[in-house]
Each structure stands twice: as structure tokens, then as C-alpha cells.
Amino acid sequence: MSTDTFALLEQLIARPSVTPQDAGCLEIIAARLAPLGFGLERMDSGPDDFRVSNLWAIKRGREANGPVLLFAGHTDVVPPGALAAWDSDPFVPSYREGRLYGRGAADMKTSVAAMVVACEAFVAAHPEHAGSIAFLLTSDEEGPARDGTVVCCERLKSRGQRLDFCIVGEPTSVERLGDTVKNGRRGSLSGKLRVQGVQGHVAYPQLARNPIHQSAAALAALAATHWDDGNTYFPPTTFQISNIKAGTGATNVIPGELELDFNFRFSTESTPEQLKARVHALLDEHGLSYQLDWTLGGEPFLTPVGSLSAALCAAIAAETGVTAELSTTGGTSDGRFIAKICPQVVEFGPLNASIHKINEYVPIDQIEPLTAIYRRTLENLLL
């Protein structure tokens, strides 16, 4: 099993699939799934200059109404950055110090390879399995996520495709393989705020209106606001300013506008509408002249403790001896789209310490156990 996973993983890492490029990864995966009896369908989407590759694959079980387990993931990776900063070519799988290095090794080509090989082992051992297995893979997770999983989910919903369980192969482990399973994610709501002032000479402030000075109290109030207390599954909602810009570069000019970016990571205790209303009320209270544009990156989703988390956590314990903790921390993932058509969605994968970094890696000793965990989860749910 480990030999097969390593071989497939090396093939995937060697493909420079910088988002939105798939670079042939899906063709490699499809060639492995077809002999197992998977029906394959490409759901590519997007304009010609930003074409996204998507693959939907499903192998029906012997029971027409049996459960459907979806493996979801992405083949695209973030840009490697300065090649000279890497100790080895990011698109040549390299082994050293007990690690396999390469862009996408952790996020998330190891998970994808392990899922495919786990299915091969499961089908070989249980050719008449009761439930169905599906894959949904995209090359638009690291990008704007407009033509990837979200498009596929809309198509699957329109045709009435039932999904019961989904495992997204995000790298969730923190210190040891299996220590963390994500059973939900916070929502992401971003705002671009433009505060209008009146440009003028710093020596004549009475003839100008400084948007920096005007905004200071409002921004301090926003930063100090307690938005909610969170709940059993989610930490409290957070507000962070990520960028702020004003001025012409000259030291003797009062700026005419301030531009600011901020983001909420919010729990299920707050809705986007509530957060927007509170921000607008605070800005209005401080008498600002402003324009505020909102972008909802994703709503929070949650899978309470149930059959999927139990099956996965039991598989983790059996293969590693680790008791997994359920968590909703971190950024957004494609799980937010899948949760709209699937009642139970969790994320699980290898160590996340190096994701998006120079010299990204996966510990070699995690690859075989990860494959075995996915295989055992299939057994726990579909036999």
C-alpha cells in the first residue's frame, strides 16, 4: 500500500499545478479510478484564460440506497515563490531527513494520493461493498474558488445526487498524524472601507478634513468590539484589519481618502447580516463619510458529532493510537460548499506545519498510516 501511495504522490508533486492549472493531475487520478469501476465526468469551468479542471467520479455500491462517501480535494497548489529559496526543486519530489519535500506535499497531494490508493485497497478487498464511493477534485481551491467545487456542487444538487458523508483531505494534523479533525469552519466576511476626507496642506488643516484622524476612533472601537462569545464548537468571532492606506507620499499633504481592508472570521453565533449592520452603525455613529463594499468568502458550517466523525476517529485510533480532537479553527476550505449538499462533512489530512511555505513537506512516516486511515474509514462506513 505504501509503495503505491508514494509512487502516485511523486507523480502528482512532479506536476507544476499552480492554481488554476491542474497540469494533468486529474488525468493521472482518473486512470487509477477507471479500472476500479468509477464512472468519470469532467466538470471543467471558467473562462479560457482561467480554465478550472474539475473531476467527478463515482463507484456505485451493491445497495442502491446505500450510503455515499465522498472524498474531496484539490490538485492545485500555491506558487512556489523564489526557486532559489528552496533547498530542492519544488516540483521534483525529494527525500531527506525523514521528509518528502515538494510544493503540494502537505496541501494536499498526499491526501489525494492516499485517498485513491485507499480506495484501490478497499475495492480489491471488498469488491461487493454495500455503499458508494465518490471523488470530487478541483484545481481552483487555492485561487478564487469560483469555478471549482462550488460549481460542481451546484451541478450535483441540480441532478439530485445524494451524498451522506464527505472527507476533505485538508492537512489538519498539528503535532501528530490524527490529532485534529476539522468538523466545521468559521465563516469569512471581508470589507473594503473607503473613508472620504478633503485633501489639503498640513499647515492649513482648517481648510481640509483628515480621514485618518476622523477614522481613528471608529477603528479603535471596531477593534475593541466584542462580537459574540462563540459556542461549544466555535471560538468567538474575530475582527482584524489587514491593510490600511492613505496619503500621497508627501509629508505636507493631508490625504483626501483612507482605504482599509478588514476581515471577520465568524462563528454560527453571528450572521453576515448582523455583522454588517453593527459595522455600519458604528461608522455612522462616528459621523464618517464612507463607502463600504462587502465580500462573503464563506459561511460557517458545522458537522456535529455523528457517524462520520465516529468512523474516522475510530480509524485514526486503530492505526495510530491517537485520540483525535474535533476542531473548527483555521481558514476556509471547500468544505463550505460541500456542506450545502452533504449533511456530514469533515476534514482530515497530514501535518500542516509547512503548508504554503518554502520547502513544504510531509513526514514520510505519515503517508502509509494516512492511507490506512482512509481505507479503514471506508470499511467502517460502507460495508
Q: What is the pLDDT of residues 286-327, one digit of tens each?
A: 999 999 999 998 889 999 999 999 999 999 999 999 999 999
pLDDT at residue 108 in the model = 97
User: In the chain, where does the domain assigned CATH 3.30.70.360 lie?
Assistant: 187-298
329: pLDDT confidence band, cut at 50, 70 and 90? confident
Catalytic residue among 4, 76, 120, 299: 76
CA distances from 372 to 46, 108, 115 (A): 36, 17, 9
Residue 74 marked as a ligand binder: yes
Among 22, 120, 140, 141, the active-site one is 141
- Output the nine-digit C-alpha cell for 305: 458529532
Does the predicted TM-score (pTM) go above 0.75? Answer: yes
CATH 3.30.70.360 fits 187-298, yes or no: yes
Question: Contact, 111 vs 364, CB < 8 A?
Answer: no
Say what the pLDDT of residue 1 is.
Answer: 40
Overall average pLDDT of the 204-213 stretch: 97
Q: Which superfamily does 2-185+300-382 belong to?
A: Zn peptidases (3.40.630.10)
Give the angle subtended at the CA of 108 by the CAs of 166 and 95, to the nearest 5°: 140
Say which residue, 1 or 250, is predicted with more confidence.
250
pLDDT tens digits for range 257-290 = 999 999 999 999 999 999 999 999 999 999 999 9
pLDDT band at 331 (very low <50, low <70, confident <90, very high): confident
Could you give the residue range(s) of every CATH 3.40.630.10 domain in the chain?
2-185+300-382
The reply to whether 273 sits in an annotated binding site is no
Mean pLDDT of the chain: 96
The predicted structure's pLDDT at residue 243: 97
Is 76 labeled as catalytic in the residue annotation? Answer: yes
What average pLDDT does this structure show over 139-160?
A: 96
Q: Would you say residue 79 has pLDDT above 60? A: yes
141 is catalytic: yes
The answer to whether 242 touches 261, Cβ cutoff 8 Å, is yes
The alpha carbon dihedral of 361, 23, 77, 347 has a sign of: negative
- The amino acid occupying position 109 is K
Q: Do the annotations mark residue 286 as ligand-binding?
A: no
